[in-house]
Structure 1
Amino acid sequence: MTSLPALIAATRPDGDGEFHALVPDNWLQGRTCYGGVSAALAVHAARQAHPDLPPLRSAQIAFVGPLAGAIALRPTLLRQGRNAAFVRVEIVGEAGLGLSATFVFMRERESVIVQEADPAPVAAPAPDDVVTGGLAEVAFTQNFRFRDHSPAEARPPRWLRWVRLDAREALHPEVELMAIGDALPPAALRLAPARVPLSSLTWQVDLLGAIPANESGWWLLHAAADQAGAGGSSQRMAIWDGAGRQVATQMQSVALFG
């Protein structure tokens, strides 16, 4: 198996502004690269192309098509201001454009408006807690450990789950967070009488400041479906770190094929 740190380390520039990587089978979700890892690779490419970027503040990601095998990452600086920079990254594979992302990097500033985010609703697992691994039929989940707190009959349907990468050495915190952030199944899946095909269409991540150090490696993910029907679902999501600090809010649009 190829770990995420190894995959990031093997991503190389070609001298013409592109970066190249090879998506291994253990990071696939069906016939495409797991969305969190393709987004993590995109953040890595943006930072490698522009090393002086301030902290990541927002990401708007469109999953355009499948990505597998050899891929090319193309970062483009759209605008650089005094406080914020906008970077677009496109990832292209054998089937064409697979991901288009726009990242906003912005320096922190003093603000007269302050509202604290909600703390994590459950505590992180202790080191000796029993946690579960991934699902054999979903390849990318084999790279994670999970501790579930999802209520069985919750309405609206939702997931609440601690997630940890098996290997996270030397990862940039933003790369790790993007890799973690899409690790839950869509919340609408809990309404299905049987397993049905689903696919993320768009994903927005808003960071609540620079990502603090997360020594435990545990991240709490929450996803709740606002609506499902007519072939699609919309859901709201959140991420807390191992100390219970909320670090991001998210929204996602999901295609339903059954």
Structure 2
Amino acid sequence: MPGFGQVLASGETLTDGLAVDVPETWHQGRTAYGGFSSALALAVAQQVGGDLPPPRSAQLAMIAPLHGRIEARAKVEREGRNATWISAEISGEKGLGFTASFVFVRPIESGLAIDDRPLPDHVIPPEDGVALSTERGATFLRHNFDVRFALPRTEERRPEISWWVRPREHEGLDPMVELLLCADALPPGVMPLLGPTVPVSTMHWQVNLLTTAPETRDGWWLLRSTGDYAHHGCSSQRMGLWNAEGLPMLAGMQSIAVFG
């Protein structure tokens, strides 16, 4: 069961990217797990970009299923004084399946400082969290992550999911790549309101990276997804990721298709 770093290391280097085989252990339904594709796109963007500042934002589009042999390619779109924009695409045997736009920004001196990303209420520390049984869960979770519940059990059904997630293999991974690899591990926030057989699919993911150097204790990241709107088969959700010390690392928003 190859970890993500092993997948990258065994890939074929292209002039503008990387070709890899998606192991079935990284599948989410009939496609590669969204965090896998997002992390691969970032790794390829870093590869073609050279000496880049830290990534600070990304726009990610899950267009079509990706599996088997895939090719990830990236291109520098603009290199400014402080920021560099890089686009990336991932294609499979049936064509384009994923696109990404990244912006890498050098730290800039500023008198503005806001931090309004508090932890969810009543968070259980990772060392005290109950392990989530992944035997019947998504394939990528079973094989690649440790998962623990982060909020107390409740009978109330609400559009919110919060877990502690830790990758089992992360040696040699760029910290930002690891962050994207983990950040999409939750089911959509509206899942507690749906039947277990209702299909869902992420369409777009907007990510803002809130740190230039992500780090955490014992590998644990706190993830939270909250559905705040759902009509006519489309759900919008807010997403957050904190380290084990409670510091915000990532903020996001996703558009989810709900087929039922």
Query: Shorter chain as normaliser: what TM range?
Result: over 0.9
Q: Provide the residue aligned with 1:67 in structure 2.
A: 66
Aligned counterparts, 1:1-258, within 5 A: 1-14=1-14, 16-121=15-120, 122=123, 124-126=125-127, 131-142=131-142, 143-150=144-151, 152=154, 156-258=158-260
Say if 2:83 and 2:103, in contact at 8 Å, map to a contact too: yes
Q: Which runs of 5+ in 1 are unaligned?
A: none
Distance in 2 (alpha carbons) for counterparts of 1:43 and 1:186: 22
Give 3-state SS (helix, strand or coil) of 1:5's partner.
Answer: helix
Distance in 2 (alpha carbons) for counterparts of 1:85 and 1:187: 32
Distance in 1 (alpha carbons) for counterparts of 2:17 and 2:195: 44
TM-superposed deviation, 1:124: 3.5
Say if 1:164 and 1:180, in contact at 8 Å, map to a contact too: yes
Distance in 1 (alpha carbons) for counterparts of 2:224 and 2:34: 17
Say if 2:164 and 2:220, in contact at 8 Å, map to a contact too: yes
Say if 1:117 and 1:246, in contact at 8 Å, map to a contact too: no
Q: Which runs of 5+ in 2 are unaligned?
A: none
Structure 1 residues 237, 129: closer, same or farther in 2, change over 3 A?
closer
Distance in 2 (alpha carbons) for counterparts of 1:136 and 1:106: 41
Distance in 2 (alpha carbons) for counterparts of 1:195 and 1:233: 17
Distance in 2 (alpha carbons) for counterparts of 1:189 and 1:64: 21
Say if 1:119 and 1:240, in contact at 8 Å, map to a contact too: no
Worse-matched range after superposition: 128-137 or 75-84: 128-137
Say if 1:108 and 1:209, in contact at 8 Å, map to a contact too: no
Say if 1:123 and 1:244, in contact at 8 Å, map to a contact too: no
Distance in 2 (alpha carbons) for counterparts of 1:13 and 1:191: 44
Say if 2:124 and 2:150, in contact at 8 Å, map to a contact too: no
The residue identity in structure 2 corresponding to 1:66 is P
Worse-matched range after superposition: 106-115 or 116-125: 116-125
Count of aligned pairs: 256
Distance in 2 (alpha carbons) for counterparts of 1:93 and 1:138: 21
Worse-matched range after superposition: 109-118 or 237-246: 109-118
C-alpha RMSD over aligned residues:
1.8
TM-score (norm 2): 0.92
Distance in 1 (alpha carbons) for counterparts of 2:11 and 2:116: 35
Say if 2:129 and 2:150, in contact at 8 Å, map to a contact too: no
Please give the per-residue CA displacement for 1:1-47, whole angstroms capped at 9, x wherever unaligned: 11112112223312x32311110000001110000010000110111
Say if 2:49 and 2:86, in contact at 8 Å, map to a contact too: no
Distance in 2 (alpha carbons) for counterparts of 1:137 and 1:158: 18
Say if 1:239 and 1:247, in contact at 8 Å, map to a contact too: yes
Distance in 2 (alpha carbons) for counterparts of 1:154 and 1:57: 36
